[in-house]
Amino acid sequence: VAEAEEKLRKEEDRAKTLEEEKQYNTSAYTHQKESFLSAESEIRRLSGELQCLEDVKRKLSLDLNVEKENNKELSKRLSSVLEECSQSRVQVSSLHSQLQVRRRDEES
């Protein structure tokens, strides 16, 4: 009888230990599941943020290309205006020389 009681007590202790392990494992599983769901949520949030950043990058790239084209056009216009200024300077110099010649002729 004592031996049977001892066996029963050991089995009860073993059952209690198994129940405690089950509760611990269930708690650990629940915690891991919550962590996983939290990580999944963070991944979705970061994916959305990344998509927004990629959209902004594409828009800025397009804007940059437009600005490059505008700069090319402005550079062409500036070159044209500088050429006109250079030609005007030559004409002014020529007219100034002609005016000096006329004045000398008139003084003579």
Report d(CA 16, CA 22) in Å as an integer: 10
Cα(52)–Cα(47) distance, rounded to whole angstroms?
Answer: 9
Instruction: Provide the Cα torsion 76, 80, 83, 89; round to 10°.
Output: -140
Average model confidence (pLDDT) across the chain = 97
The whole-angstrom separation of Cα 33 and Cα 39 is 10
**pLDDT tens per residue, range 52-88:** 999 999 999 999 999 999 999 999 999 999 999 999 9
- Checking if the pLDDT of 108 tops 90, the result is no
Single pTM value for the model: 0.56
Angle at 89 between CA 85 and CA 95, to 5 degrees: 140
Q: Please report the pLDDT score of residue 39 as a whole number.
A: 98
- pLDDT for 6 equals 96
